[in-house]
A and B are shown apart, each in its own frame.
Chain A
Amino acid sequence: MSVSTTDAGPGTRTERAPGPSARPPPPTHTLRPRVWRERWSYTFIIPGAAFFLVFMYVPMAGNVVAFQDYSPFRGIEGSPWVGLANFNAIWTDPEIITALRNTLIIAFLQLAFAFPAPIALALLLHSLLSTKVKRLIQTIVYLPNFLSWVIVISVWQQVVGGGGLVAGLLDNFGVTGFNLMSDADNFKFLVVAQNIWKDAGWGTIIFFAAIAGIPSERYEAAAIDGASGWQRTWHITLPALVPVATLLLILNIGSILTVGFEQLLLQQPMVGADAAQVLDTFVYFRGVLGGQWGIATAAGLLKGIIGTILVLSANKLAKKMGGEGIF
């Protein structure tokens, strides 16, 4: 703030006629009293701001090891700089190609199936007339969102895993060896199914908020004009959900390279790395467990940068197409 006034000088400021800008930036000489007057506010802000600085911004600097042959024993100061060698190594690493492919396939399946699931569920629940039944079903479908992935995977293991509930039922019909949890071929569909089970219910909450904002006269007028139930859903309810859906889509595209890290990490031992390695698990296994810190950090950094570019461009695209962006 002080920078903006130095070029103008205090003299010119006092003589300035009230221009089109409604609130000119405050002159330097009043900043200090303002800070002093609000000193109490800083006792509230500084601890929290320090937290974000240390735990969100300082680690960003740690990404410099992507340009080093880093080893924890030598530290950042002692590790040799290698330029872009880690990034070059990424492109020839067969494991990261697998990880990238798996990530993109899962992300695509998520967009195709897990993304529309809450919209469909919200429409279905919205069509129920009894608020009591609606409440009850909402209570049930929201619950899995609050369970950890460890619990979700454990429960699925007991139901569709080897020796689980479904396997036991199939045994009675002479079908043996059913184990969906270690089926590498269908693993990616399993991942999406788990996602829908855990999060689709909770995902409806934001669509309900959008539906609640639709004035009921609109439905009434449409019904009087002869629109059927489907037509009312198609022409009134769905368009009202578009802004929220766009916003969520932008966020989803930004995190397209981040697919359920804990979920995949937990299941990788059951189906193997070929089916379940994604970029995040690659970073973990290669870096933290494998000790190749440089290349793993480089992969993580690249992923972060691409994610940021994706969310910014998706945002721009949404604005260009006449919708509302998130910022």
Chain B
Amino acid sequence: MATATVSRPPWMNPPSVWVRAIKAIVIVCIVITMIYPLVYVIAMSFAAPEQARAGVIFPTKFSLDAYRAILNGGTVVDGLRNSLFITVVGTLLSLAATSMLAWGLVRTRQVPGAKIVLVGILATMFFSAGIIPNFMLIKYLGLLDSTWSLIIPGLISAFNMIVIRNFFQGLPEELIEAARIDGAGEWRIFLQIVLPLSKPVLAVMGLFYAVAYWNTYFNALLYINDSTKWPIQVVLQQYVLAGVAIPGAVVTEGQPPPPGVTLQMAVIVLATIPILVVYPFLQRFFTSGVLTGAIKG
């Protein structure tokens, strides 16, 4: 723990060996508990059939058969495609809608009625209509069994809107005022000055939206009956937790399919990979204060 880069403040007594040892053990245990399950699932998804059937702590022989079988086409590929569509389209629409609203609500003093709208939106963070009224609304709008039912109801998150609005409020006012005096229209100011200056917060919020859209599960369960329109999370639940056999998961005709357990692990990995890919980008912002400042504010 105590590497060469650490400088202990002069007033701090070095802790006893015991304290340090216990701390180290606790931290190693926490890290293993957090990370090993994920490592295990990823490793087993690549395990050779005989090792997967026997059950090992960590496989030593590897095979891509599970992925070949799943990516052959069929339900899992459909699920990945649907989730990708929801995530990309949803995130773009959400960012557009959220930043527009946030910009409109920055000047609550000057714009009559803006304050009321803002309070009304904040209030929605503390209540929800409930499952059944939401279901009835989606049904009434004719969105049942439509991919849009997974995008539109989550278009703007009140919390994300507040975070973006906080950021907008911190932009240099003189710059925007100067553009206004130079005769730039409000839309032009928004698109050419405000948005480019807000890239950091838009990136974080975009990633948050993307994670939320990728993780969509219950809304799909509620609104989508047609299994070809399921997002990957519903597919995962069906074939891993509910234990339904994955249709069409064969590598080559006449050969035994890969063992069920590697297939399941491979589906879990495919559903997780996009999160693991964006996570490092997301992680950069945690310490930058964009978020913590907003949460406190």
Contact = CB atoms under 8 A, between A and B. Distances in A.
Interface of A: 1, 31, 34-35, 38, 40-45, 47-49, 51-52, 54-63, 65, 72, 121, 124, 127-133, 135, 137-144, 146-151, 153-159, 163, 165, 168-169, 171, 197, 201, 205-206, 208-209, 216, 219-220, 223-224, 229, 254, 261-262, 265-266, 269-270, 280, 283-284, 287-288, 293, 296-297, 300-301, 303-304, 307-308, 311
Contact of B27 (A49, A129, A137, A220): A137
Contacts of A201: 34
Contact of A146 (B27, B57, B265, B279): B279
Interface string B198-215: 000000000000010011
Given A206-B292, A229-B15, A296 B2 contact: no
B55 A262 contact: no
Interface of B: 1-3, 5-9, 11-13, 15, 23, 26-27, 30-31, 33-35, 37-38, 40-41, 44, 55-57, 97-98, 100-101, 103-105, 107, 110-114, 117, 120-121, 124, 126-137, 139, 152-153, 155-156, 158, 161, 185-187, 190, 211, 214-215, 217-218, 222, 233-234, 236-237, 240-242, 261, 264-265, 268, 271-272, 275, 279, 282-283, 286-287, 291-292, 295-296
A140 B35 contact: yes
Nearest to A35: B112
Given A124-B27, A197-B33, A209 B272 contact: no
Given A48-B100, A142-B283, A124 B34 contact: no
Contacts of B3: 130, 132-133
Question: How would you classify the secondary structure of chain A's contact residues: helix, strand, loop or mixed?
Answer: helix
Given A41-B111, A148-B233, A168-B57, 16 more contacts: A41-B104, A48-B98, A48-B100, A51-B101, A52-B120, A55-B152, A55-B155, A60-B127, A130-B2, A132-B5, A143-B34, A147-B272, A150-B217, A150-B241, A284-B131, A296-B132
Contacts of A141: 30-31, 34
A133 B1 contact: yes
Contacts of A308: 126-127
A301 B134 CA distance: 12
A155 B11 contact: no
Contacts of A219: 9, 11-12
Contacts of B139: 72
B131 A280 contact: yes
Nearest to B134: A59
A222 B23 CA distance: 23
| Of listed A59, A124, A132, residue having the most chain B CB within 10 A | A59
A154 B240 contact: yes
A295 to B, nearest CB: 10
13 contacts: A44-B105, A48-B97, A49-B120, A52-B124, A56-B124, A59-B129, A60-B127, A62-B129, A65-B133, A143-B279, A148-B233, A151-B236, A284-B131
Given A154-B240, A154-B241, A229-B15, A168 B217 contact: no
A62 B264 contact: no
Given A148-B217, A206-B292, A45 B264 contact: no
B286 A56 contact: no
Contacts of B129: 56, 59-60, 62-63, 304
Contact of B38 (A51, A59, A155, A307): A155
B134 A155 contact: no
Contact of B241 (A153, A296, A307): A153
B152 to A, nearest CB: 8
B5 A130 contact: yes
A141 to B, nearest CB: 6
B110 A38 contact: yes
B5 to A, nearest CB: 6
A219 B103 CA distance: 42
Contacts of B9: 216, 219-220
A241 to B, nearest CB: 13
B165 to A, nearest CB: 11
A40 B114 contact: no
Given A49-B101, A63-B130, A297-B130, A140 B268 contact: no
A130 B30 CA distance: 17
A40 B6 contact: no
A261 to B, nearest CB: 7
Contacts of B241: 150, 153-154, 157, 266, 269-270
Nearest to A141: B34
A137 B120 CA distance: 39
A266 B237 contact: yes
A262 B218 contact: yes
Contacts of B135: 288
